[in-house]
Copies of this chain bind each other. A is one copy, B any other.
Amino acid sequence: MQRKSEKPIKITEVCLRDGSHVVAHQFTEEQVRDVAQALDAAGMHYIEVSHGDGLGGSTIQYGRSRVNEMKLIETAVSVCKQATVAVLLIPGIGTVNELKQAQELGAGLVRVATHVTEADVSAQHIHLARELGMEALGFLMMAHSAPVDKLVEQAKLMESYGAQAVYVTDSAGALLPHEVRERIAALRQSLDIEIGFHAHNNLSLAMANTLAAIEEGATRIDGSMRCLGAGAGNTQTEVLVAVLERLGIDVGIDLYQMMDVAEEIVGPILPGSQEIKKGSLVMGYAGVYSSFLLHAERAGKRFGIDPRDILIELGRRKAVGGQEDMIIDVAAELAKRQGKGA
């Protein structure tokens, strides 16, 4: 493996944020404290703590958190001796007030996340974060659904707002390794800031894509212990540390401690197994949000067609979150085409 960057790789552990989806946002203070403390001791660089949908996500729509995320952030900060506590903010869900509060509680980094074509909504939050002295990074979600030049254009916007890195975020776990390569390479050529990569494992490619990203020069990498993240989970962090060691890439994180944290602290939190099952496989194959699955199943029943056909068509049309209405239209059209009716 030949790395196209001499900068050190910085790992962000997302199990306490992306994994929030898996536990229906029911993390307890004790769980967050134990995981953060153990990861900090193992040498983890960044630990992200927020509702699964970022700051302010605890709502009827996105699912109520058991414990206020500010309390969880405070808890994580209180036990971290060297790791930086990070937060996620999706403009429209989270606000500047929540960002200020998180910063006051000790969060040192924010990732401002937008759909891959909507970077412009990140401007004020990136500006504010920099003013507050936080690290401010951009996070372009559903990165598979935009052409490479569009992705570059949007990343450059985030850079112009002051983002110190931009992530290619493969929210649906839909990217193939060569698609990751071309995206990271294009960003490397066009930006002066660091490039990050956030994988999901829906196609069993999280590790492959992560290594492809690192090879092309990405230096900010996300992982989740025991794959505790949405869909089929993320790049499994403790395995990533092992693979990087085998590749001779030193990240200064203790492998044995990571194995122990995964087994003894994160393992017992898992509500079920993080394997690739039908739902997450379809999601990765079609390239759609998991929130579409249930709607597609209902529409499939109503119109007598396979819900997978609906999801794949939605993926072709690049449907984004919030466009669940489109599902009925697509289902009706497909039913007509297949000679079936509701």
Q: Please state if A176 and B1 are interface contacts (CB–CB under 8 Å).
A: yes
Q: Please state if B284 and A242 are interface contacts (CB–CB under 8 Å).
A: yes
Q: With an 8 A cutoff between CB atoms, is A306 at the interface?
A: yes
Q: Please state if A177 and B211 are interface contacts (CB–CB under 8 Å).
A: yes
A149-197 interface with B by 8 A CB criterion = 176-178
Q: Please state if A246 and B285 are interface contacts (CB–CB under 8 Å).
A: yes
Partner of A275, one of B226, B260, B281: B226
A237-283 interface with B by 8 A CB criterion = 238-240, 242-243, 245-247, 255-256, 259-260, 262-263, 267, 272-278, 281-282
Q: Please state if A205 and B203 are interface contacts (CB–CB under 8 Å).
A: no
Contacts of A3 in B (CB 8 A): none
Q: How far is the CA of A177 from the CA of B263 in the complex (A)?
A: 26
Q: How many monomers of this protein are in the complex? A: 2
Q: How far is the CA of A44 from the CA of B255 in the complex (A)?
A: 39
Q: Please state if A278 and B306 are interface contacts (CB–CB under 8 Å).
A: no
Q: Please state if A274 and B277 are interface contacts (CB–CB under 8 Å).
A: no
Q: Please state if A204 and B235 are interface contacts (CB–CB under 8 Å).
A: yes
Q: Who on chain B is nearest to A176 by CB?
A: B246
Partner of A239, one of B1, B245, B276: B276
Q: With an 8 A cutoff between CB atoms, is A140 at the interface?
A: no
What are 28 of the A-B contact pairs (CB < 8 Å)? A1-B176, A176-B243, A177-B208, A201-B204, A203-B239, A203-B243, A203-B246, A204-B206, A204-B235, A204-B239, A204-B240, A204-B243, A208-B208, A226-B275, A236-B276, A239-B276, A239-B281, A256-B306, A259-B278, A259-B281, A259-B282, A260-B278, A262-B278, A263-B277, A272-B273, A273-B273, A273-B274, A273-B275
